[in-house]
Amino acid sequence: MVLAVIVVCVLAVALTDAGQRLLVPERFGLDPQRGLTKPLRLEAIQSNALEEFAMGLRVFHYRTKPRGVAVYSDVFYDTHDWRLYRSGYSYRYREAKEDAGEVSYSVRLEQESRFVPIGSKKTDLRESLPASVGAAIAQGAWEVAVSDDNGVDATARLLAVLQELGIAPEEIQPRLIAELRRERFDITDKGQSWFELDHEIWTFHPFEDADRRMQFEDIVIDTRLKKSDPELIRRVVTMNELSKMIYGVRAANRAPYERAIERFGFETVN
């Protein structure tokens, strides 16, 4: 731990000096189209990863301010041979439970960035479900999630994707269950919030085998730039570089559900 603090302190001095000389992301080896425009996701590889990361933040005078905890239950839908997944798509139903005890339902159709042609926009549709539809799915009416008459645009787009891929709607079934506990923090400096940090605990199991479980712990930092602010760019650069120096975390190149599918041995991404 002492060595980790020393390394982070050296990094702080180096980045501060470099940032004063030239506040451009390219100088630090970052791709402005990727490293600055999507959340930074890190996978914990030791139990105290969050504490180590918070210690690194304190070297840069950041503090973490708790914002609350939410719990989610996700059901990922696919064919028996994971054709949606192998084509770069995911479709999931979510039941969310907030701090106040309120329950909400939604669906999401997402296309993974690495499957999107350069210059094209990825598909990422998130839409709330009517309470009656969400509750019906929660009670086991899984087919409602892919029904063309549930009145949800994300589902309509899913059906269009299925047609493009030559998949019949009735082939789509619940395949993977995920439970997520998300603890959210603001990352502040001198009273100003600069980033959001999510501490996520994911637990997965196949839909038909609740005893076969797998867990991941992730730290997710929202480093997306909303404006061209040199000070914000400097802080994003620092955050990206800091993440490489913290012992106990590593860059997560796959979303949690993708890691679960691969490590369960269901499929392998080409």
The whole-number pLDDT of residue 267 equals 61
Which burial class, exposed, middle or buried, applies to 127 when counting CB atoms under 10 A from its CB (0-12, 13-18, 19+)? middle
For residues 147 and 218, which has the higher predicted lDDT (pLDDT)? 218
Query: How far apart (Å, rounded) are the C-alpha atoms in residues 110 and 207?
Result: 20
Place of tokens 């008459």: 149
pLDDT of residue 1: 52
Average pLDDT score, the chain: 83
Sequence-separated (6 or more) residues with CB below 8 Å from residue 151:
130, 133
Q: For residue 71, list its beta bridge partners.
A: 97, 181
What's residue 215's pLDDT? Answer: 95
What pLDDT does 37 receive? Answer: 63
Quick: pLDDT tens for 62-108: 999 999 999 999 999 999 999 999 999 999 999 998 766 789 999 99
Q: Tell the CATH topology of 74-177.
A: Hypothetical Protein Pfu-838710-001 (2.40.320)
Tokens of 133: 């539809």
Helix, strand, or coil here: 46? Answer: coil
Helix (H, G, I), strand (E, B) or coil at 248: coil
| Higher pLDDT, residue 115 or 235 | 235
- The per-residue pLDDT for 152 is 84
Determine if the pTM surpasses 0.85: no
The four Cα atoms 251, 256, 260, 262 give a dihedral, to 10 degrees, of -50
> Which among 25-39, 200-214, 215-229 has the top mean pLDDT?
200-214
C-beta of residue 255 within 8 angstroms of C-beta of residue 176: no
Burial of 244 (0-12, 13-18, 19+ CB in 10 A): exposed
pLDDT at 18 over 70: no
Gap between the Cα atoms of 246 and 42, Å rounded: 10
Q: Where are the domains of the chain?
A: 2-16+38-67+178-264, 74-177
* 21 or 38, greater pLDDT: 38
Residue 221's pLDDT is what? 93
